[in-house]
Amino acid sequence: MSFSVARRALLGAIALATLPSYGLEKRRTTSLQDTAPESPVGKPYDKVPSVVKADKDRVRLLFTYDCQFCRSYHNGIVQWGNTLPSPLRFEATPVLTSDSDNLVLAIYGRLLMQGLAPSKLKLYDYAMYTYVQGDKDAGVAPKQIITADEVIRLIGQQAEVPLVNLRAFIKQHGAAIEKQIPNHAMMISTYGLKATPSVAIGGQVVVTPDHAGGDPQQFLLLLNALTSRLIQGGLNAL
C-alpha cells in the first residue's frame, strides 16, 4: 500500500475535525455523544440531522473495529440485513472514530476487499476485529501496530488473489480508494451518530441497541418494525 506516515496523519486530522469528543462510557454501546441530536420524545430511534437522500432504499450498519459491542452484534445484524426484501439494500460500513493508523488501514483494506472480493467481507471483518481487539477465548492479544503488509497478505489470502495481482489492483485503484477514507469519518456527523453500532434506515433514522434496552432480540424486532414501515410508506412513514 502507498500509505505514508504523513498521509495517515492527514487522514487522522480530517477524522478528528469531523467528530464530537469520542470516548467509552459505561453503556451498552460505544458512546459518541456530544453534539448528536436528541431522540424524538417517545420514539425508539434518533432522527438523522438531514435526510440522506442517496440512502432512501438503504439500511446501513455503521460500526468500528475497536468497538466490542460492534463485534458482538456484527454477525447478527449482517445476517438480518441479508434477508431484507427489495427494494431495500443492506450495507455494512465502518466509520472512522479516531486518528488511529490501525483503523485507517483497516478501513482502507476493507475498501480494497470490497472491490476485489465482496463475498469475502465477512471473513475480513472477523479478522480485523481480532487484529484490533484480540480474542481472549483463543488467547490472541490485540495487535498494537497493524502494518500495510499484514493487511495486504490478509486480503490476498481471503480473496484468493495472487499478491502480484493484488499489488497491480492497488497500483491502479489504491489512490482513488484512499480518497474515500475521510468519508468514513464524516459519516459520524452525517448520520448524527451517538453510539456504535448504529443502524441507519432509509437515510432518515438511526437505531442503536440502546433503543431496545440492550436486548439483541428486541433490537432485531425493532429493526424489523422500522424497515417494514419504510417499505410500506417510504420516508414519510417514519
Average pLDDT over residues 142-147: 94
Q: 29: Cβ–Cβ under 8 A, 6 or more apart, which residues?
A: 67, 69, 195, 196, 197, 198, 208, 209, 210
pLDDT score for 232: 87
**Measured distance CA(111)–CA(80) in Å, rounded:** 22
pLDDT at 171: 92
| Residue ranges covered by each domain of the chain | 5-237
**Could you tell me the pTM of the whole model?**
0.85
Secondary structure class of 89 (helix, strand, coil):
strand
Cβ neighbours of residue 156 closer than 8 Å, sequence gap 6 or more: 162, 163, 166
Rg (C-alpha) for the chain, rounded Å, is 18
99: confidence class by pLDDT, cuts 50, 70, 90? confident
Please name the residue ranges forming H helices in the chain. 5-18, 68-81, 101-116, 121-133, 148-159, 163-178, 181-190, 216-233
Q: For residue 119, which of 74, 82, 71 has the smallest C-alpha distance?
A: 82
Tell me the β-bridge partners of 198: 62
Per-residue pLDDT of 182-226, as tens digits, reads 999 999 999 999 999 999 999 999 999 999 999 999 999 999 999
- For residue 27, what pLDDT is reported? 38
Task: Specify whether the CB–CB gap between 92 and 76 falls below 8 A.
Answer: no
Q: How far apart are CA 26 and CA 220, in angstroms?
A: 22
Residue 28 has pLDDT above 50, yes or no: no
> What pLDDT was estimated at residue 12?
53
What is the rounded average pLDDT of the residues 162-190?
92
C-alpha grid cell, residue 142:
490485540
Domain range 5-237, CATH class: alpha beta
Nearest to 89 by CA among 117, 55, 66, 134: 55
Q: How confident is the model at residue 57 (pLDDT cuts 50, 70, 90)?
A: very high
- Cβ(208)–Cβ(52) under 8 Å? no
Per-residue pLDDT at 6 exceeds 60: no
Predicted pLDDT at 98: 85
Cα 143 to Cα 133: distance, rounded to the nearest angstrom: 8
Q: Which amino acid appears at position 80 of this protein?
A: W
Q: Which residues pair with 231 in a beta bridge?
A: none
Q: What is the pLDDT of residue 235?
A: 61
Q: What is the percent of the chain where pLDDT is above 90? A: 72
Q: How far apart are the two ends of the chain, measured CA to CA in Å?
A: 43
Condensed to tens digits (0 to 9), the pLDDT of residues 218-231 reads 999 999 999 999 98
For residue 195, which of 41, 55, 28 has the smallest C-alpha distance?
28
Q: What is the mean pLDDT of residues 47-76?
A: 96
Mean pLDDT value across residues 136-165: 93
- Residues 131-139, mean pLDDT to the nearest whole number: 93
